[in-house]
A and B are shown apart, each in its own frame.
Chain A
């Protein structure tokens, strides 16, 4: 193993930032799961709410993408 303490920090930081992707996965799962629960209770109203579902998923996912971006920046740009 070689390298300096700065690149070690980069790799550890990138790994920590990747935790955010998992957190976003929980968020997206919540949105989709709750939508499904609601949709099965009232299937007739479900079709009109798919746009809202995708907006919700997009907002939840964006923050996960931010953390992924931080990881990428640490790995390749710093």
Chain B
């Protein structure tokens, strides 16, 4: 594809090349356990979160340092979100949701560094996160509520004749959750990065270079916003699904 574009004389940088998974230590073969650039940047995300939340709060100062206040801010933000959206009894799942949020937001921001790799732009990465949430919520719903969890699909407020039809719709919308949950995050991040690369391709043409550099700056600013909002949306939807599992009454 890149060759075709080069022959066409159009875009010299292929916008999708940045998402290529490559082994870190040479070679072409990507096996199950090959360390790739995805592994590297995910490890860096975990490292950054650890640095912020563990090393940053080590002092436990009454007057917090900068790192400690950021960590406290993040903690309070996610705690309030879980409490508001999923309810007080969902607080015991706070560590899981905090982990999800911190990992996604850090991976998104690390992906925005020039020459870095956006791990969350891969559906393989986000699908694992979304499937974990889906399985957790489904198993939790059945363990906590037994067969009453199926009441989620049986809309008791609707007229009796409509309920079977609604049950089918609810069932479909339930099983499409992990799909939309993962594709929303991956799609947003991938789209933003591809747009930046498309404008970067235009920057090679001298007459429109200033416009395209301005456009890159603007899109980059938007992407910083998107990186945070998509992590927020992913976590808040996890909270919504968790609420369904804890209180399945429709």
Known A55-B240, A76-B1: A68·B84 in contact at CB below 8 Å: no
Known A51-B81, A54-B236: A76·B16 in contact at CB below 8 Å: yes
Partner among B1, B183, B233, B240 whose Cβ is within 8 Å of the Cβ of A66: B183
Q: How far is the CA of A18 from the CA of B183 in the complex (A)?
A: 16
One digit per residue, 1 when the CB lies within 8 angstroms of any chain B CB and 0 when it does not, for chain A 54-78 equals: 1101110110011011001000100
User: Are B237 and A55 touching (Cβ within 8 A)?
Assistant: yes
Q: How far is the CA of A75 from the CA of B187 in the complex (A)?
A: 15
For A48, list chain B residues within 8 Å (CB). 84
Q: How far is the CA of A57 from the CA of B188 in the complex (A)?
A: 13
Q: How many residues of B contact A (CB 8 A)?
A: 18
User: Are B183 and A69 touching (Cβ within 8 A)?
Assistant: yes
Main secondary structure of the interface of A (DSSP, over half): helix
Interchain Cβ contacts within 8 Å, total number: 40
Q: Nearest CB to that of B7 among chain A residues?
A: A2
CB distance from B105 to the nearest CB of A (A): 14
Known A65-B191, A69-B187, A76-B1: A58·B237 in contact at CB below 8 Å: yes
One digit per residue, 1 when the CB lies within 8 angstroms of any chain A CB and 0 when it does not, for chain B 224-237 equals: 00000100110011
Q: How far is the CA of A78 from the CA of B1 in the complex (A)?
A: 12
Q: What are 12 sample pairs from A and B whose C-beta atoms fall under 8 A apart?
A: A51-B84, A54-B229, A54-B233, A55-B233, A55-B236, A58-B233, A58-B236, A65-B191, A66-B180, A66-B187, A68-B187, A72-B16
The residues of B with any CB-CB pair to A shorter than 8 Å are 1, 16, 81, 84-85, 180, 183-184, 187-188, 190-191, 229, 232-233, 236-237, 240
The residues of A with any CB-CB pair to B shorter than 8 Å are 48, 51, 54-55, 57-59, 61-62, 65-66, 68-69, 72, 76
Other contacts beyond A54-B232, A54-B233, A58-B237: 20, CB < 8 A: A48-B84, A51-B81, A51-B84, A51-B85, A51-B236, A55-B237, A55-B240, A58-B184, A61-B184, A61-B188, A62-B184, A65-B184, A65-B188, A65-B191, A66-B183, A66-B187, A69-B183, A69-B187, A72-B16, A72-B190
